[in-house]
Structure 1
Amino acid sequence: MRFLHTSDWHIGRTFHQVSLLDELRQVFAALVELVVREEVDVVVASGDIFDSSTPSADAVRLLDQILLDLADVGVRVVMTSGNHDSPARLGAKAAFAHKAGIHVITQSEEITSPVTIDDEHGPVHFYGVPFLEPAHQRHIWSEVEPLRSQKDAMGHALGLVRDDWQRRGGRAVVLAHTFVQGADGESCDSERDIVGGVDKVPVNYFSDFTYAALGHIHGRAVLAPTVRYSGAPLHYSFSEAGKRRGGWIVDLDADGTREVRWLDLPVPRELSILSGTLEELLTDEVHAAAVGHWVSATVTDQVRPSNTMRRLQGRFPHAVELVFAPSHVHGPDATTYAARIRSRTDHEIVEVFLEAVRNGAGMSDEEAVLVRDVIGSRSPR
């Protein structure tokens, strides 16, 4: 059996207030082509299918479309809810979707009811573990003590899965949306904290399963040969610049996981982080490749230029983030304000302050005389 591990679709997400539905539609079209070309049997999506618990009508329609497209090419789908999803809304049509080979798992009561798909070697059980909020689960698993954290909740859930798997036999693929130890280096700005805390789940909780398809981290990560994050299909923050987008193709044989390999998905619009004076950004050919990218621009002029964003967007239509950082404050020799006023006289402190708020322009001769008259010259502190 061959399946594709994806996660964190975040349908409905915006990028600096710009809708990403069109970009995600392009990626989904490429995903369908990929599963046909690679003869994928199953697509798994490990949580955060929507970006909001109240997705827009357009976001719901886009999800319906990708699921219909996958069903049309004969691919089964298994997905779970993440911390961004509303289990009730995501699972509203689960009974109907099941008939089309689309399996949506959103309730903890479903943990021990896997989606079982047979291949020539026997059954493969896909166990969906939806996002578990400990405060909510305490009412369902009242017999479990303690149950204060994601670690506690996930540990109990995987224990239930493991017991069920042992009774059934075969191979077990677990979908889980959580933060697992070892994924720290892959986190980025677009990952919002899990409700109830982001305590880390030990990676060895997953090590005995045939494969663990994890979600929540937006960059791909390999925590163990069969314990992986696929990351998100789009870039959702500038901290993700340069990270590849795609999914893991997993081949199973009679003994378990035979091979795992990465397949890229297209990036509809790259990210570029630029820095320089406004004139340099508008004219330097070194920035020509970024004209069609999402652009974050740091402008280093000593004096803030007028209409900066409008002028930047004249060259970079998709400039969406502007940072003003004068080079005298943020250059290679920059120090903190506290360091610059340490051991200074009151007169010098006023001068440093004026340089900071005037982008490097200090006191005039007339102002210096006025300051001396008012506070005088004092010894260093």
Structure 2
Amino acid sequence: MAFRFLHTADWQIGKPFANIAGDSGAELRSQRIKTVESIAQVAIGRAVDAVLVAGDAFDSNEVSDRTIMRTIEALASYNGSWIFLPGNHDAALAHSVWTRMQAMDLPSNIIIADKPEPISLWNDRAIVLPAPLRRRRESLDQTEWFDGASSPDGAARIGLAHGSVANRLPGSADSSNEIPEDRARRADLSYLALGDWHGALNIAPRTWYSGAPEPDRHKANDSGSIFVVDIESHRAPERVEALNVGRYCWVRIDAELVDGTCNGALQALAQLSGEHRSCVVSLNLTGAVSLAERRRLEAELRKWEARLHHLEIDDTGLIDEPTPDDLDALDNSGFVRLAVERLRAKASDASDPDSGTARMALRMMYLDHFAKSA
């Protein structure tokens, strides 16, 4: 009695991307709907019996009605069952995105799993056991009821939950809405479909995070995919195939400039894989460069800002170290030279609380000099 479904989670539709201004942020927001359309096409192409969304389909309960309607429209091409679990971002509150969605004359194939009760699919070939969150942080394990839930003989038992698997995720992970690591075994599940951890991960036996289908953070956690899951029978091993559907890649680059030049940063950017226009890059610069190299770096980074979808630069750890040639380029004699020498002395004294200001002043003088001579 085989059952095939898509496992996905953490769509975060309506995410504002407040730190990415203008068209770049708007395109990231609109892409989330387009990715849902892609998921619907995969569901059709792979002939799945249902799509299970393990929480956080929406970024918050405050998303606009227009966003909700666009999401419903994005689902329309696949007429199989869509099962949505309320997560911590879109919890099943008394007034929520889900109550508003239900008031929009939903198609019958869209099922909001906002109650902890079994959902039968395809003439009892599969039973979905949902653990909806009714607040952002639940103090009690919402999956406990799975253990005693009955199901027809031979039916695949599929748990659907959103939270952190105890003792398994990294210490930096959010530990709210905790799920026991052996819940799949205790509840005799064929598969436990999870959301909340935005990366794809087989976290425990029969227990999987699908990850976010559209990445939204600079974190190397294998996001950008959905799962096609085949369950041949209740206790048969699950078969999981990851399919990449994400449009944008989020990359963090840490570049330490150690030879006085900016070559390390430029080489790291040149090694970016994929289409540059779809890269959202966070560039963290440390080390030291001459003023001439700082000028070259800034000119090259302006070019990269135009190539990439978005470039965020943190150069607070990058120190200017003026060379004699840098200072000679400013002035060889007189008052300007004296001022430059004093700023250089102050800038090189790490104990001077004004050393950072002095370095900035030298850089501004250098850039202004070349701007006037251009």
Give the TM-score taking structure 1 as reference length.
Answer: 0.68
Find the aligned partners of 1:251 and 1:296 in 2 and give their Cα distance: 37
Report the counterpart of residue 85 of structure 1 in structure 2.
90
Find the aligned partners of 1:95 and 1:253 in 2 and give their Cα distance: 37
Report the counterpart of residue 43 of structure 2 in structure 1.
35
Deviates more, 1:250-259 or 1:80-89: 250-259
Aligned equivalent of 2:81, options 76, 82, 86: 76
Report the counterpart of residue 181 of structure 2 in structure 1.
203
Find the aligned partners of 1:285 and 1:99 in 2 and give their Cα distance: 46
Report the counterpart of residue 261 of structure 1 in structure 2.
240
Q: Aligned residues: percent identity?
A: 20
Query: Relative to 1, partners in 2 of residues 1:359 and 1:31: Cα closer, same or farther, differing over 3 Å?
Result: farther
Contact 2:211 2:226 in 1 (8 A): yes
Deviates more, 1:199-208 or 1:59-68: 199-208
Alignment length, in residue pairs? 312
Find the aligned partners of 2:15 and 2:305 in 1 and give their Cα distance: 26
Report the counterpart of residue 131 of structure 2 in structure 1.
129
Opposite residue 171 of structure 1, the aligned amino acid is A
Find the aligned partners of 1:199 and 1:248 in 2 and give their Cα distance: 23
Contact 1:21 1:59 in 2 (8 A): no
Opposite residue 82 of structure 1, the aligned amino acid is G
Give 5+ residue unaligned stretches, structure 1: 136-148, 330-347, 362-381
Query: Relative to 1, partners in 2 of residues 1:218 and 1:307: Cα closer, same or farther, differing over 3 Å?
Result: same
Find the aligned partners of 2:133 and 2:177 in 1 and give their Cα distance: 13
Contact 1:30 1:265 in 2 (8 A): no
Query: Relative to 1, partners in 2 of residues 1:97 and 1:226: Cα closer, same or farther, differing over 3 Å?
Result: farther
Report the counterpart of residue 216 of structure 1 in structure 2.
196
Give 5+ residue unaligned stretches, structure 2: 321-345, 361-374
1:116 aligns with 2:107: no
Note the 1:60-75 alignment, pairs <5 A. Answer: 60-71=68-79, 75=80
Contact 1:11 1:51 in 2 (8 A): yes
Instruction: Kindly state the Cα deviation for residue 10 of structure 1 after the two structures are TM-superposed.
Output: 0.3
Report the counterpart of residue 13 of structure 2 in structure 1.
11
Instruction: Kindly state the Cα deviation for residue 164 of structure 1 after the two structures are TM-superposed.
Output: 2.9
Report the counterpart of residue 172 of structure 1 in structure 2.
157
- 1:200-229 CA distances to partner (integer Å, 9 max, x unpaired)? 432112322221111111001112231111
Find the aligned partners of 2:252 and 2:233 in 1 and give their Cα distance: 47
Opposite residue 24 of structure 1, the aligned amino acid is R
Contact 2:68 2:101 in 1 (8 A): no
Contact 1:245 1:266 in 2 (8 A): yes
Instruction: Kindly state the Cα deviation for residue 41 of structure 1 after the two structures are TM-superposed.
Output: 0.7
1:249 aligns with 2:228: yes
Instruction: Kindly state the Cα deviation for residue 313 of structure 1 after the two structures are TM-superposed.
Output: 5.2
Report the counterpart of residue 357 of structure 1 in structure 2.
356
Note the 1:296-311 alignment, pairs <5 A. Answer: 296-300=282-286, 301=289, 311=302
Opposite residue 318 of structure 1, the aligned amino acid is H
- 1:135-155 CA distances to partner (integer Å, 9 max, x unpaired)? 8xxxxxxxxxxxxx64xx21x
Query: Relative to 1, partners in 2 of residues 1:167 and 1:132: Cα closer, same or farther, differing over 3 Å?
Result: farther
Query: Relative to 1, partners in 2 of residues 1:284 and 1:250: Cα closer, same or farther, differing over 3 Å?
Result: closer
- 1:249-305 CA distances to partner (integer Å, 9 max, x unpaired)? 222233334432222223312233343666775698835757422122234546676
Give the TM-score taking structure 2 as reference length.
Answer: 0.69
Q: Secondary structure at the match of 2:100?
A: coil
Contact 2:89 2:136 in 1 (8 A): no
Q: Secondary structure at the match of 2:238?
A: strand
Report the counterpart of residue 342 of structure 2 in structure 1.
none
Report the counterpart of residue 310 of structure 2 in structure 1.
319
Contact 2:190 2:236 in 1 (8 A): yes
- 1:67-116 CA distances to partner (integer Å, 9 max, x unpaired)? 22222xxx21111111111523224344876752111022xxx212x220
Report the counterpart of residue 379 of structure 1 in structure 2.
none
Query: Relative to 1, partners in 2 of residues 1:44 and 1:90: Cα closer, same or farther, differing over 3 Å?
Result: same
CA RMSD of aligned residues (A): 3.9
Aligned equivalent of 2:57, options 34, 46, 49: 49
Find the aligned partners of 1:40 and 1:124 in 2 and give their Cα distance: 13
